Structure 1
């Protein structure tokens, strides 16, 4: 179980972004999160995955603090995959940074063998997002924060990506927090949904 307990965060003390936010994500659960631009959705996702440290409160995984070394069991997947990879690394090295997926796992996410020797800037946004999602699925990973990961993709690629991720999450009982402005997408994917507004989480 992943729990955020009374998280508060600000970039400026006079402008609090999150105020005493608490959230629970269970194994196998798909939880949707909506909110206006600038409401703090991505910041909350980064806090849950350990990319940022809260000013107050904490993030707990099965009663313990998030690990500080090794593959992080909570993975944050950003909207722009090019920001999450080293442009000087080939795709094969980008994947092996976390783990080495099998040919069947690559095929499930549409990662083609011909991409392995290429640099990320030679892939389309949808192709690179497939690589980044696959990289985030190392065996140690138990929770995913999918932060607008399909916003920039065409409808067919969106469908294929979410279907592959759904299958993997069901097989491994991964907990998934889906952050999106797309209310229809959240309704399709997530039985439970929350809305972030004025620094607080509210039922949708």
Structure 2
């Protein structure tokens, strides 16, 4: 279980963005997180992945504090994949930095082998997002924070990406937090949903 316990966070110490917030994500669960722009959804995702440190409270993975050492069991996926890769590395190197997936899994995500020899700017946003999602599925990863990862993609790419991720997550019992403004997407993908407003969940 991925668990946030009594998290508090603000970019200015006297202006809290998240107040005494608690959240649980079970193995194999798909949890939807909605909220208005600026409500703190991405901030919460980064706290859960260990990319930000809470001012108060803790994040636990399977009842152990989230560690900063080695491969993190919680991976955060961003809306803009070009910001998550080194523009001077060929995407195959970017992928192998985390792990070397099987040919079958590469195919499941609709990735062509020749893409791996290209630089990021030679791929479309949808092609590069597939690479970034696959990179986040390294062995040892237990939870994914998918932060608006399909917002900028065309409808066909959206469906293909979510189908591949859903299949892999089901097989490996990954917990997935889906952050999105798209209520229909959350309804389709998730078994449970929460809404963030005023620094609290409901």
The Cα of 1:14 is off from its aligned counterpart by 3.0
In the TM superposition, residue 27 of structure 1 has moved relative to its aligned partner by: 0.2
Task: Give the TM-score normalised by the residue count of structure 2.
Answer: 0.99
User: Residues of 1 paired with 2:201 and 2:73: CA distance?
Assistant: 24
Q: Normalising by structure 1, report the TM-score.
A: 0.98
**3-state SS in 1 of match to 2:16:** strand
How far is the alpha carbon of 1:71 from its aligned partner? 1.3
Q: Deviations over 1:30-68 (max 9, x none)?
A: 000000000000000000000000000000011111122
Structure 1 runs of 4+ with >4 Å offset:
none
* Structure 1: gaps (5+ residues): none
* CA distance, structure 2, for counterparts of residue 88 and residue 159 of structure 1: 29
Q: Which whole-Å CA distance do the structure 2 matches of 1:94 and 1:165 have between them?
A: 19
User: What is the Cα deviation at residue 132 of structure 1?
Assistant: 0.1
CA distance in 2, matches of 1:197, 1:66: 25
CA distance, structure 2, for counterparts of residue 5 and residue 35 of structure 1: 20
- Kindly tell me the number of residue pairs found equivalent between the two proteins: 202
Q: How does 1:81-120 map to 2 (within 5 A)?
A: 81-120=81-120
RMSD between superposed Cα atoms in Å? 0.6
Could you list the per-position Cα deviations for residues 74-111 of structure 1 after superposition, in whole angstroms to 9, with x for gaps in the alignment? 00001000111111111111001110011111100011
Equivalent position SS for 1:156:
helix
In 1, Cα distance between the equivalents of 2:144 and 2:66?
14
Superposition map of 1:157-168 within 5 A: 157-168=157-168
**Which runs of structure 2 are paired with 1:102-181 in the superposition (5 Å)?**
102-181=102-181
How far is 1:13 from its partner? 2.2
Deviations 1:120-179, CA, capped at 9 Å, x for gaps: 111000000000000000011000000000000000000000000000000000000000
- Tell me which residue corresponds to 2:28: 28
- Structure 1 CA distance, aligned partners of 2:95 and 2:70? 15
Q: CA deviation at 1:15?
A: 2.1
Note the C-alpha offset of 1:70: 1.6
